[in-house]
């Protein structure tokens, strides 16, 4: 079972999101695969052994980048893009967590998908894995030369 911390500054937004995702694990029949745990970011460093990965909300991105540059985390931390937070689905959060963990390959610290280092400009509303698949299947635009 994958244990995922949902984090933000004081925990208001992440508290609601983690509760929503925890309830969604039952609805999506994923309760044997994933557990979402609410941990305010200011507690994450001391509580990181409770989880496998942390997914942080984007409004504390500067705080996360500052903290991860000063302290060494043993778990991967991923900042969820703004638009992914808008339409949360357990399967998307689980897929992103699995893919970030594979990318981290046992290392801790801050990770992001290629091309997503600035969360504010990420336009996907689904998991990165699903978005990549959609991009492969999109018809190529033909440019007509004049």
Residue 102 domain-assigned?
yes
Domain limits at 45? 2-137
Residue 33: alpha-carbon gap to chain centroid: 16
> What is the tally of structural domains in the chain?
1
Residue 46 resides in a domain: yes
105 in a domain, yes or no?
yes
pLDDT at position 90 is 94
Q: How many CB atoms are closer than 10 A to CB 132?
A: 15
What is the reported pLDDT for 12?
A: 76
133 falls within a domain: yes
- For residue 87, the model assigns a pLDDT of 80
Report the candidate in 72, 39, 33 with the shortest Cα–Cα distance to residue 55.
39
Q: What pLDDT does 85 receive? A: 87
What is the per-residue pLDDT for 55? 97
Q: Is residue 145 part of a domain?
A: no
* 142 inside domain: no
Identify whether 6 is part of a domain: yes
Look at residue 146 and tell me if it is in a domain: no
* Each residue's pLDDT tens digit, 113-126: 999 988 889 999 99
pLDDT string in tens for the chain (146-residue length)? 999 999 998 777 888 899 999 999 999 999 999 999 999 999 999 999 999 999 999 999 999 999 999 999 999 999 999 988 888 899 999 999 999 999 999 999 999 999 998 888 999 999 999 999 998 887 766 666 66
Q: In this structure, what token pair is assigned to residue 87?
A: 């339409």
With a CB cutoff of 8 Å and minimum separation 6, the contacts of 81 are 58, 116, 119, 120, 122, 124
pLDDT at 9 (0 to 100): 83
Nearest Cα neighbor of 96 from 113, 120, 83, 72 is 113
Strand partners, 111: 78
Gap between the Cα atoms of 84 and 129, Å rounded: 13
Please count the other Cβ atoms lying within 10 Å of the Cβ belonging to residue 142: 5
CA distance 71 to 85: 26
**56 touches 8 (CB < 8 A):** yes
pTM (2 d.p.)? 0.90
Instruction: Tell me the CATH number at 6.
Output: 3.40.50.2300
Q: Which has the closest alpha carbon to 55: 37, 32, 69?
A: 37
């Amino acid at each position: 079972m994958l244990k995922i911390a949902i984090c933000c500054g004081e925990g208001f937004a992440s508290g609601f999101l983690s509760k929503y995702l925890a309830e969604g694990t039952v609805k999506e029949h994923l309760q044997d695969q994933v557990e979402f745990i609410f941990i305010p970011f200011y507690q994450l460093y001391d509580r990181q052994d409770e989880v496998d990965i942390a997914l942080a909300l984007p409004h504390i991105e500067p705080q996360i980048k500052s903290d991860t540059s000063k302290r060494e985390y043993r778990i991967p931390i991923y900042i969820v893009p703004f638009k992914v937070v808008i339409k949360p689905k357990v399967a998307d959060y689980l897929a992103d967590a699995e893919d970030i963990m594979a990318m981290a390959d046992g290392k801790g610290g801050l990770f992001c998908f290629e091309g997503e280092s600035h969360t504010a400009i990420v336009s996907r509303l689904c998991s990165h894995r699903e978005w990549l698949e959609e991009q492969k299947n999109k018809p190529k635009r033909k440019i007509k030369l004049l």
